[in-house]
Amino acid sequence: MPDTNAQNCTITLEGKNYEFPVITGTEGEKAIDISKLRDTTGYVTLDIGYKNTGATKSAITFLDGEEGILRHRGYSIEDLAEKANFLEVSYLLLKGELPNKEQFEDFDNSVRHHTLVNEDLQNIFRTFPTGSHPMGQLIAMISSLSAYYPKALDPHRSPEAKNRTTLRLMAKMPTICAMIYKKRLGHPVVYPNNNLDYVSNFLSMTFKHVSDADYQPDPVIVDAMNKLLILHADHEQNCSASTVRLVGSSQSNLYATTAAGIAALWGPLHGGANQEVLEMLEQIKGDGGNVQKWVDKAKDKNDPFRLMGFGHRVYKNFDPRAKIIKKTCDDVLNKLGINDPVLEIAKKLEEAALTDPYFAERKLYPNVDFYSGIIYRAMGFPTEMFTALFAVGRLPGWIAQWQEMVQENQPIGRPRQIYTGHMPRTFIPRGERQ
Ligand code: CMC
């Protein structure tokens, strides 16, 4: 447990000293607890973009950006990606421990029990214009689940109700994603086959044709998809997890809260980067494959172009997830016998950027989104679905972050500001204004 009374920190303001506790986490990271700063000094802290703000204590995920370390509940991401399946990792995030055989079977069966979605949801799909972005549809669909489960609207109702909502979300997210894919193609929806495991079921709902009774997902793809979902499962207080905590802190229901997390994920600086990476690589390929030209563009401060899939707020070293994904990418393409020229461009781009002082000085390395799109594409997913796949993976992380916040009865999130607008002014009626 963190040692909360190890030392104090003295802050001097206007010649007066104030003492604040220093909090030390289990991995030795330190924070100054300034929750009483305003009450005692009248000052607030200003940290635009929360670059240096610990918004919560959390026992879910440990991340050391300088060393490139990521652990969930103490287990390394390398071990989890290599040795566990996605549902096991979801259980670990949600319940705090890896499941034993019975616990896993119980969780797995409970999720299987909830995979169908209400048929009326199909009516909502019909109202979306053809070709609308999967993430916009996903937000609407997940949010609209709250209409079908009104008892879930009170997030504090009971542990059983919370557990049921968690199971429903875990079970229905892949079904809804697969429906989005099928609707985009104009193909009939494929219903869940609850004899299949979580990932195989998702792949079957996505890629099976209704008339194809013999469809079996390729084990290479099942394995890669498990890995990819695990690598996206949680990432401590990132933009979407913080959104989930903030929205959930007003006691909004978990469906609406999750929809808000999906909305945050959609942005190209967060999960939307995976789509952008592939579009960028295609653009470079179409432009003749001159990677140096694009590296130079990314360095040019007058050019808005950024190397998508590069850089991270927290990692100032290799993103450990990117290392695993790069290897998985090679393995999957080899096993599937796919020769994607875009992979060669990605490798050249990575090499050019890593040897460039601009990227070295700023500690910009490939992140999780750099190679993932190439694998998704090899699996058969269209580019626009990539961020929705990130959302399927991130779901247990969002729920675990939300659960922790609710369990600890954390107060509503409500930051302060430093006002920089006008001083009081006299109101002039409309007809008299200049
Ligand atoms: N290409 C070129 N320059 C970059 C890049 C990039 N991808 N990323 C950062 N920089 C530069 C930036 O211009 C700045 O330079 P200077 O100090 O000269 O002004 C410096 O590096 C620091 O960047 P920042 O924008 O202040 O850093 P941040 O922590 O606010 O942003 C980031 C982090 C991930 C938003 C940013 O690196 C970025 O835009 N990357 C591309 C988008 C991307 O791949 N996002 C996925 C993130 S990982 C998946 C996830 O968990 O969401």
Q: Token pair of 372, please?
A: 């993932």
4 pLDDT exceeds 60?
no
pLDDT score recorded for residue 154 = 84
Confidence of residue 6 (pLDDT cuts 50, 70, 90): low
Where is pLDDT greater, at 102 or 3? 102
Q: Token pair of 344, please?
A: 């060669």
143 neighbors 149 (Cβ within 8 angstroms) = no
CA–centroid distance, residue 312 to ligand 1 (Å): 6
256/402 Cα distance (integer angstroms): 12
93 neighbors 396 (Cβ within 8 angstroms) = yes
326 neighbors 343 (Cβ within 8 angstroms) = no
3 pLDDT exceeds 90?
no
Confidence of residue 5 (pLDDT cuts 50, 70, 90): low
CA gyration radius for the chain?
24
Parse the chain into domains and list their residue ranges: 3-54
From the DSSP assignment, how many helices (H) and strands (E) are in the chain?
A: 18, 6
CA 188-194-198 angle, 5° bins: 95
Q: Quick one: 354 exposed, middle or buried, by C-beta within 10 A (0-12, 13-18, 19+)? A: middle
Closest Cα to atom 36, ligand 1: which residue? Answer: 311
Nearest CA-CA partner of 225 in 168, 174, 267, 278 = 174
Q: Token pair of 363, please?
A: 């500690």
CA–centroid distance, residue 350 to ligand 1 (Å): 15
CATH of domain 3-54: 2.20.28.60
271 neighbors 394 (Cβ within 8 angstroms) = yes
> For ligand 1, which residues put their CB under 6 angstroms from it?
235, 238, 269-271, 273, 298, 306-313, 362, 364, 367-369
The secondary structure of residue 54, as a DSSP letter, is -
Q: Looking at this protein, which amino acid is placed at residue 416?
A: R
Share of the chain above pLDDT 70, in %: 99
Q: Token pair of 144, please?
A: 């609209």
422 pLDDT exceeds 70?
yes
Task: Give the tens place of pLDDT for each residue, 155-170.
Answer: 777 889 999 999 999 9
pLDDT score recorded for residue 180 = 96
The secondary structure of residue 133, as a DSSP letter, is -
371 neighbors 250 (Cβ within 8 angstroms) = no
40 pLDDT exceeds 60?
yes
pLDDT score recorded for residue 307 = 95
pLDDT score recorded for residue 213 = 83
Q: Across residues 279-287, what is the average pLDDT?
A: 96
220 neighbors 335 (Cβ within 8 angstroms) = yes
From 310, 356, 368, mutation site for ligand 1 pocket: most ligand atoms within 8 A of C-beta? 310
Q: Across residues 358-386, what is the average pLDDT?
A: 94
Q: Quick one: 409 exposed, middle or buried, by C-beta within 10 A (0-12, 13-18, 19+)? A: exposed
378 neighbors 330 (Cβ within 8 angstroms) = no
Task: Give the tens place of pLDDT for each residue, 216-238.
Answer: 999 999 999 999 999 999 999 99
359 pLDDT exceeds 80?
yes
Nearest CA-CA partner of 192 in 114, 292, 298 = 114
Task: Give the tens place of pLDDT for each residue, 72-82.
Answer: 999 999 999 99
From 61, 308, 312, mutation site for ligand 1 pocket: most ligand atoms within 8 A of C-beta? 312
The residue annotated as part of the active site, out of 33, 312, 340, 356, is 312
> Would you give the end-to-end CA distance of the chain in angstroms?
64
Task: Give the tens place of pLDDT for each residue, 80-101.
Answer: 999 999 999 999 999 999 999 9
Confidence of residue 122 (pLDDT cuts 50, 70, 90): confident
Return phi, psi of residue 63, to 5°: -135, 125
323/92 Cα distance (integer angstroms): 22
The residue annotated as part of the active site, out of 197, 234, 319, 369, is 369
262 neighbors 272 (Cβ within 8 angstroms) = no
Q: Across residues 393-415, what is the average pLDDT?
A: 97
Does 369 qualify as catalytic in the annotation?
Answer: yes
Which pTM value belongs to this model? 0.95
374 pLDDT exceeds 90?
yes
Q: Across residues 103-117, what is the average pLDDT?
A: 98
